[in-house]
């Protein structure tokens, strides 16, 4: 037999031998893992992982939790496996849910352990029951079975359980705007937001605004107000009445274990729905702070534990209040003088001293750093001139009006001469009539407290 035939018979024999070997059934990789090596979890929160990465292993894979151990001591931590009751959403809590009854109808309870491993695929789920597990570092030991067999996977993933936080400020901001123009805003950065937690029987969230000296603004007196078209915390937490005090705005709230508060996913202000989290907007009006600008504040805060939470908003360079100096003049106007005005001069040195600038700078800073206002009887300031600017027409009660049927008097300020020219609407005032009109100037120097001067004119017709 030649070599050619011997080679052919050898290959055929080898093929027969190989064909008699049993086929390998399935495959189970020795290096199964999750997509993360360490899972960071805060007590009392829910989190889950994707299934195990098969790495070529035959599926389905049956996964069993063998043990979860403390990494430092090696001891099994059975607290992960103890079932506890906590609350869950049955439905979304939306904009129309404003009563406690509506809220409670959308919340139920479940009883589950802190950690479970899904039998098919090995997905790990941690629940709010982790609140009952000591914080620390842990590791998982798993047993995995598929068609190929069974393998043990020690320390397949680490879990770091962080202590539960009473609350978290996710975002905050501040801006300023003028009294007359909501669109003229500027970012304000010189502030800080802190929280304080107290374990109390009452569940309350308290918002506080402090000036640079730690003096609190007074919401009860209107020194902190809600925004007209933006949500406040009251819109996210409408289940109890808002309480305004001399030092804070207070909200009672319902607590449900395992759920962060507020619970509403949507808040409605007017006809607009807001779903950007519990952004809570408030304003410190311009006349209640030392920069004489509206200060618009926002915080986005969530609360995790029952008790009292204090959210403290500190304005680091602003003082509460805007003190005013008042200059009063008695003015006599002749009856039947037509539009003729009577000059009422100001003392240039007095004005310059009050503003801390030279008398000539008053004119150059008008309408930039200095704003001229009509001052209404209720304390409202009108920055818009209704007579020759800067100046106003006034009605008999001292309210600013335009030229027309209600106009009785005008007061116009000559910025160069620092003189008020005060006159009448012809043939409407008579001897013996008395009036009081008021105007004001506010100087806003860069980086310093504003200065306000009120001008009061007691007018007699004779």
Answer yes or no: do 189 and 74 share one domain: no
Coil vs helix vs strand at 428: coil
Answer yes or no: do 51 and 124 share one domain: yes
Count of all residues that appear for the chain in the document: 462
Answer yes or no: do 173 and 304 share one domain: yes
Answer yes or no: do 171 and 158 share one domain: no
**Is 347 within the bounds of a domain?**
yes
Of 162, 179, 201, which one is at a domain's C-terminal end?
Answer: 162
Answer yes or no: do 285 and 360 share one domain: no
Q: What is the CATH number of the domain that holds 151?
A: 2.60.40.10
Per the structure, the count of domains in the chain is 3
Phi, psi of 204 (to 5 degrees): -140, 145
Q: Residue 234: in which H helix or E strand, if any?
A: helix 233-236
Answer yes or no: do 126 and 171 share one domain: no
Q: What is the CATH number of the domain that holds 418?
A: 2.60.40
Instruction: List the one residue out of 409, 93, 419 whose CA is nearest residue 236.
Output: 93
pLDDT in tens, the chain (462 residues): 443 443 443 444 444 444 444 566 899 999 999 999 999 999 999 999 999 999 999 999 999 999 999 999 999 999 999 999 999 999 999 999 999 999 999 999 999 999 999 999 999 999 999 999 999 999 999 999 999 999 999 999 999 999 999 999 999 999 999 987 777 789 999 999 999 999 999 999 999 999 999 999 999 999 999 999 999 999 999 999 999 999 999 999 999 999 999 999 999 999 999 998 899 999 999 999 999 999 999 999 999 999 999 999 999 999 999 999 999 999 999 999 999 999 999 999 999 999 999 999 999 999 999 999 999 999 999 999 999 999 999 999 999 999 999 999 999 999 999 999 999 999 999 999 999 999 999 999 998 999 999 999 999 999
Instruction: List the one residue out of 441, 416, 440, 439 whose CA is nearest residue 359.
Output: 416
CA 189 vs. chain centroid, Å, equals 14
**Is 293 within the bounds of a domain?**
yes
CA–CA dist 137, 158 (Å, integer): 7
CB atoms within 10 A of CB 446: 5
Answer yes or no: do 127 and 230 share one domain: no
Strands (E), 211-323: 225-226, 243-244, 249-252, 267-269, 272-274, 279-284, 294-303, 308-315
**Is 18 within the bounds of a domain?**
no
* Domain membership of residue 217 as a residue range: 167-315
The reported pTM is 0.85
Of 105, 128, 162, which one is at a domain's C-terminal end?
Answer: 162
Q: In the numeric block, which tokens belong to residue 257?
A: 């274990």
């Amino acid at each position: 037999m030649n070599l050619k035939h011997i080679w052919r018979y050898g290959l055929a024999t080898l093929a027969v031998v190989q064909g008699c070997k049993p086929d390998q059934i399935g495959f189970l990789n020795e290096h199964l893992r999750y997509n993360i090596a360490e899972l960071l979890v805060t007590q009392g929160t829910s989190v889950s992982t994707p299934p195990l990465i098969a790495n070529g292993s035959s599926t389905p894979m049956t996964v069993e939790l063998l043990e979860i151990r403390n990494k430092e001591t090696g001891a099994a931590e059975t607290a992960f496996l103890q079932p506890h009751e906590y609350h869950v959403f049955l439905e979304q809590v939306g904009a129309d849910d404003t009563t406690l009854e509506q809220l409670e109808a959308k919340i139920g309870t479940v009883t589950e352990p802190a950690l479970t491993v899904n039998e098919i695929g090995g997905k790990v789920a941690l629940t709010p029951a982790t609140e009952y597990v000591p914080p620390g570092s842990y590791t998982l030991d798993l047993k995995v079975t598929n068609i190929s067999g069974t393998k043990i996977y020690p320390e397949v993933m680490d879990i770091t359980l962080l202590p539960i936080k009473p609350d978290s400020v996710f975002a905050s901001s501040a801006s300023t705007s003028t009294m007359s123009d909501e669109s003229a805003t500027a970012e304000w950065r010189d502030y800080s937001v802190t929280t304080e937690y107290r374990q109390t029987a009452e569940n309350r969230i308290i918002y506080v605004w402090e000036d640079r000296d730690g003096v609190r603004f007074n919401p009860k007196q209107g020194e902190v107000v809600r925004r007209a078209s933006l949500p406040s915390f009251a819109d996210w937490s409408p289940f109890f009445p808002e309480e305004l005090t001399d030092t804070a705005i207070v909200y009672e709230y319902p607590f449900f274990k395992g759920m962060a508060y507020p619970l509403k996913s949507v808040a409605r202000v007017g006809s607009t729905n807001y779903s950007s989290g519990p952004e809570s907007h408030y304003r410190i009006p311009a006349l209640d702070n030392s920069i004489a600008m509206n200060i618009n504040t926002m915080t986005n805060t969530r609360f995790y534990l029952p008790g009292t939470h204090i959210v403290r908003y500190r304005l680091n360079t602003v003082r509460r209040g805007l003190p005013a100096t008042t200059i009063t003049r008695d003015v006599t106007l002749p009856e039947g003088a037509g539009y003729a005005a009577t000059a009422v001069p100001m003392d240039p040195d007095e004005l310059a001293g009050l503003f801390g600038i030279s008398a000539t700078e008053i004119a150059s800073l008008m309408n930039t750093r200095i704003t001229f206002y009509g001052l209404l009887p209720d304390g409202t300031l009108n920055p818009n001139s209704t007579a020759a600017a800067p100046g106003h027409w006034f009605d008999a009660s001292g309210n600013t009006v335009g030229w027309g049927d209600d106009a009785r008097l005008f007061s116009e300020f000559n910025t160069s001469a620092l003189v008020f020219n005060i006159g009448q609407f012809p043939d409407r005032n008579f001897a013996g009539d008395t009036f009081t009109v008021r105007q004001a100037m506010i100087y806003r120097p860069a980086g310093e407290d504003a200065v306000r001067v009120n001008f009061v004119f007691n007018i007699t017709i004779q």
